Chain A
Amino acid sequence: MEYFLQQLINGLSLGAIYGLIAIGYTMVYGIIGMINFAHGEIYMIGAFVAMITYLAVGALGITWVPLALLLMLAASMMFTSVYGWTVERIAYRPLRSSPRLAPLISAIGMSIFLQNYVQLVQGARSKPLQPILPGNLTLLDGAVSVSYVRLATIVITLLLMYGFTMLISRTALGRAQRACEQDKTMAGLLGVNVDRVISLTFVLGAALAAVAGMMVMLIYGVIDFYIGFLAGVKAFTAAVLGGIGSLPGAMLGGVVIGLIEAFWAGYIGSEWKDVATFTILVLVLIFRPTGLLGRPEIEKV
């Protein structure tokens, strides 16, 4: 029972991270029908910016942890937003009316470029860090111990997802975003600046990925230029599993994959956990091709 709870928390925090990244994939897919292959790299950059900010904050003599964390969060969200915006401008917008293969290739190019760029300026070796948020919450007389970082990851993710869902479902901006997803020409006729909404979608996705990057850095205490690849693949899988284009789907997909990984690693061993993940994906897609929460097309248009 205690062991189960332990794995549950591990799985949920991991799933939260995948979910945060998956939202970026699913929103970009929703609006331009493209997989943004550079998105995993944006997440990786978010982790690096958080780390650099942490070191800078330390050098400045700021030792109060909440302030340090807040600064890290703000800096990584800001920088990745700029990266996300730039990626769209450079790799996607010029190719918007080209055949679909062209932006796909430029996206992969962008991904390789960003990886190499970080490798070049930050070095290829992993960056270990002192634990910033040490300590555990112990439950059930010490049988279950949950690190504060993992708890914080879950709580912050829940808050972000709530805020984000409100933004998309309740505000004029969110409506404009959904309108562009459904019919860009019509949205334009009604006065929506479609290019700006697309940019904004990249920026929002990047900012959420930055949070994921920062939390991973805090949990594992070590990052390198290559972490974006596997996390990107997993988060993309989460988006497909949940139903690509669906926001709640991305969150659910992330949690499902996080839980599978944690329980597989906890009960069976960590060797085959990625295989398990992808097997589940294949099974779900066989029985529900649109993903768990993907919408079947029933509207008459």
Chain B
Amino acid sequence: MLTVSGVHTFYGAIEALKGVDIEIGEGEIVSLIGANGAGKSTLLMTICGNPRARAGRIIFDGEDITHLPTHQLVRRGIAQSPEGRRIFPRMSVLENLQMGAIASPPKGFDRDLEEVFTLFPRLKERINQRAGTMSGGEQQMLAIGRALMSQPRLLLLDEPSLGLAPLVVKQIFQAIKDINRERKMTVFMVEQNAYHALKLAHRGYVMVTGRVTMSGTGAELLSNPEVRAAYLEGGH
């Protein structure tokens, strides 16, 4: 469904991605793990064209989207819940969700909204609250809910569990699993929480300073001694 091949991305003179190859199949959950600064968020953003890849190709559903304007990607079926959540703080919860659907035909709106509320009932309780005043966990639910409002076929999630209490983390991962299973949504997820991420994922990639160094099924990576030493020691 998504093929990233030989992608290089720069911030000024800094080369953040040094030739990345990744393949994501329809219906999969794929996790990407790696240390801070490895380039994980950069990869997700590069898929969306901001920053743009300086070399390499990104193919989605057979179409070369490497040079497509960012705002057209959501219409192709790619949505992202980015690093740092980036909810609109001075808008209400409802308005944030409406923004998620801004590129979608209006007639599906009510149905999509109900689906998000089923997944995250807390958002329904808070529907008129200013998003900036919500708790971190609520904001995370909102960011994911907003991405879901466009009914994407590929959902990109950047650290959905960041800063959340264990119980909420569990909830969020359960939600991701449900979305994938029930709606056949493909998920590409970046996570610090390597144990949960690999356990949930069909496949995973490990990234080190701008390069993919390992890949395999979630179970394979979980039992790999190198992965264990670098990302799992100290428990979960």
- The answer to whether residues A189 and B99 also contact, given A182-B90, A301-B132 and a CB cut-off of 8 A, is no
CA–CA, A190 and B50, complex, Å: 12
Chain B's nearest CB lies how many Å from the CB of A294?
A: 13
B50 A191 Cβ-Cβ under 8 A: no
A172 B98 Cβ-Cβ under 8 A: yes
Chain B's nearest CB lies how many Å from the CB of A219?
A: 36
- The answer to whether residues A185 and B86 also contact, given A175-B91, A175-B95 and a CB cut-off of 8 A, is yes
CA–CA, A188 and B103, complex, Å: 11
Residue from A175, A186, A187, A295 with most neighbouring chain B CB atoms (10 Å)? A186
Q: Is A285 an interface residue (CB 8 A)?
A: no
Chain A's nearest CB lies how many Å from the CB of B178?
A: 23
CA–CA, A212 and B155, complex, Å: 47
Q: Is B74 an interface residue (CB 8 A)?
A: yes
Q: Using C-beta atoms within 8 Å of the partner chain, give the interface range for chain B.
A: 20 to 34
Task: Produce 1/0 per residue, A217-247, CB < 8 A to B.
Answer: 0000000000000000000000000000000
A299 B86 Cβ-Cβ under 8 A: no
Residue from B79, B80, B89 with most neighbouring chain A CB atoms (10 Å)? B89
For B75, list chain A residues within 8 Å (CB): 191
CA–CA, A175 and B90, complex, Å: 11
For A188, list chain B residues within 8 Å (CB): 50, 70-71
Q: Using C-beta atoms within 8 Å of the partner chain, give the interface range for chain A.
A: 20 to 34
B89 A186 Cβ-Cβ under 8 A: no
Q: Is B48 an interface residue (CB 8 A)?
A: yes
A191 B88 Cβ-Cβ under 8 A: no
- The answer to whether residues A190 and B89 also contact, given A175-B95, A300-B132 and a CB cut-off of 8 A, is no
Q: Is B145 an interface residue (CB 8 A)?
A: no
CA–CA, A190 and B86, complex, Å: 11
Known: A175-B99, A176-B99, A191-B102. 4 other contacts (CB 8 A): A185-B82, A189-B50, A191-B75, A193-B71
